[in-house]
């Protein structure tokens, strides 16, 4: 009877797990959590590995660099850029690397490059933050421009909704782009008015990941430079992922069997 019970529990667990995982992204983002217009919606992010490449696929309605009119007024059009992709090697909110989504100025660099290049991977200078009340507040946080910086350049006192102090684009870098190969492309999904498409970012793992790295890798991206929607989350990275998965499953089985054995002894 106990064996039958365990078998039924496993079957029930399997029924919950299998259909759900087929519908999920690696990192899900809620629907309807954007600020401003629905075009800024992000649905989620898929992270996969192909050989030595890390592939990040961001599913969103915002293809970037669109003229946005939030009020209906004829003089209120402005070009809204996306954020850059942030990569954190230990799952915290310090993003050591970034992939630039457009060519934009860096924050008053004292040396090195003065602007980013689209599709390139950068090592971000996390030692630099800058607070400027007249620009709207915290305009650089740990090497990243915040939404306050873009709010200032969008007109400062404009009454548009935006997310304050969110890190959005690379502001300070430690040097020129990280040598190696990286790429960025927008892939439009035609025929679906509710889902525009996805960005595909490909970076070479050895360009930024220490040898034998194992642990969390965090990702973060904002669909607009005012952080209109943000997707963020971590993945577990291990050089050899299969044994880790098996170990996790094994622990689950042992725990379930132990639970089944204990119950009769209480009587």
The footprint of Ca ion (CB under 5 A) covers 29, 33, 42, 88, 90, 92, 94, 229-230
The distance of closest approach from Cβ of residue 227 to Ca ion in the complex, given in angstroms and rounded to an integer, is: 9
Given the structure tokens 């008053």, which residue do they identify?
A: 108
Looking at the Cβ atoms of 42 and 170, the one nearer to Ca ion is 42
Looking at the Cβ atoms of 29 and 148, the one nearer to Ca ion is 29
The distance of closest approach from Cβ of residue 135 to Ca ion in the complex, given in angstroms and rounded to an integer, is: 25
Rounded Cα gap, residues 71 and 36, in angstroms = 10
Structure tokens at 176: 């020129």
Rounded Cα gap, residues 18 and 259, in angstroms = 23
Looking at the Cβ atoms of 92 and 176, the one nearer to Ca ion is 92
The distance of closest approach from Cβ of residue 121 to Ca ion in the complex, given in angstroms and rounded to an integer, is: 15
The distance of closest approach from Cβ of residue 216 to Ca ion in the complex, given in angstroms and rounded to an integer, is: 9
Looking at the Cβ atoms of 33 and 185, the one nearer to Ca ion is 33
Instruction: Spell out the alpha helix ranges (H) of the chain.
Output: 2-23, 147-153, 241-265
Radius of gyration of the chain (CA): 22
Looking at the Cβ atoms of 42 and 201, the one nearer to Ca ion is 42
Task: Annotate 30-60 with DSSP letters as a single string.
Answer: -TT--SS-GGG-EEEEEEEEETTEEEEEEEE
Looking at the Cβ atoms of 211 and 242, the one nearer to Ca ion is 211
Count of residues making up the chain: 267
The distance of closest approach from Cβ of residue 122 to Ca ion in the complex, given in angstroms and rounded to an integer, is: 14
Rounded Cα gap, residues 100 and 81, in angstroms = 11
Looking at the Cβ atoms of 200 and 216, the one nearer to Ca ion is 216
The distance of closest approach from Cβ of residue 234 to Ca ion in the complex, given in angstroms and rounded to an integer, is: 10
Rounded to whole angstroms, what are the CA distances from 84 to 75, 97, 169, 197? 27, 10, 5, 17
Given the structure tokens 């607070």, which residue do they identify?
A: 131
Rounded Cα gap, residues 135 and 145, in angstroms = 12
The distance of closest approach from Cβ of residue 160 to Ca ion in the complex, given in angstroms and rounded to an integer, is: 18
> Taking Cα atoms as reference points, which of 81, 53, 47 lies closest to residue 67?
81
Rounded Cα gap, residues 147 and 139, in angstroms = 7
Rounded Cα gap, residues 114 and 132, in angstroms = 20
Nearest residue by C-beta to Ca ion?
88
Strand partners, 138: 131
The distance of closest approach from Cβ of residue 2 to Ca ion in the complex, given in angstroms and rounded to an integer, is: 45
Looking at the Cβ atoms of 92 and 132, the one nearer to Ca ion is 92
């Amino acid at each position: 009877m106990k064996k039958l019970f365990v078998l039924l529990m496993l079957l029930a667990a399997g029924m919950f797990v299998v259909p759900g995982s087929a519908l999920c992204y690696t990192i899900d983002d809620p629907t309807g959590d954007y600020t401003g217009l629905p075009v800024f919606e992000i649905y989620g992010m898929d992270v996969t590995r192909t050989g030595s490449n890390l592939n990040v696929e961001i599913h969103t309605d915002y293809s970037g660099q669109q003229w946005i009119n939030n009020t209906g007024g004829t003089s209120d059009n402005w070009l809204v850029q996306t954020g850059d992709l942030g990569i954190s090697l230990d799952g915290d909110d310090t993003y050591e690397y970034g992939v630039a989504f457009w060519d934009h100025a860096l924050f008053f660099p004292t040396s090195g490059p003065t602007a980013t290049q689209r599709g390139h991977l950068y090592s971000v200078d996390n030692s630099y933050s800058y607070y400027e009340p007249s620009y709207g507040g915290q305009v650089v946080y740990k090497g990243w421009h915040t939404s306050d910086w873009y709010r200032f350049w969008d007109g400062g006192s404009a009454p548009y909704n935006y997310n304050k102090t969110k890190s959005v684009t690379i502001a300070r870098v430690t040097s020129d782009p990280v040598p190696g190969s990286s790429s960025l492309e927008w892939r439009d999904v035609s025929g679906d008015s509710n889902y525009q498409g996805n960005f595909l970012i490909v970076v070479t793992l050895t360009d930024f990941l220490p040898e034998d790295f194992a642990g969390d890798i965090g990702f973060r991206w904002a669909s607009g430079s005012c952080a209109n929607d943000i997707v963020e989350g971590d993945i577990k990275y291990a050089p050899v992922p299969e044994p880790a998965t098996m170990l996790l499953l094994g622990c689950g089985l042992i725990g379930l069997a132990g639970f089944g054995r204990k119950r009769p002894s209480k009587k």
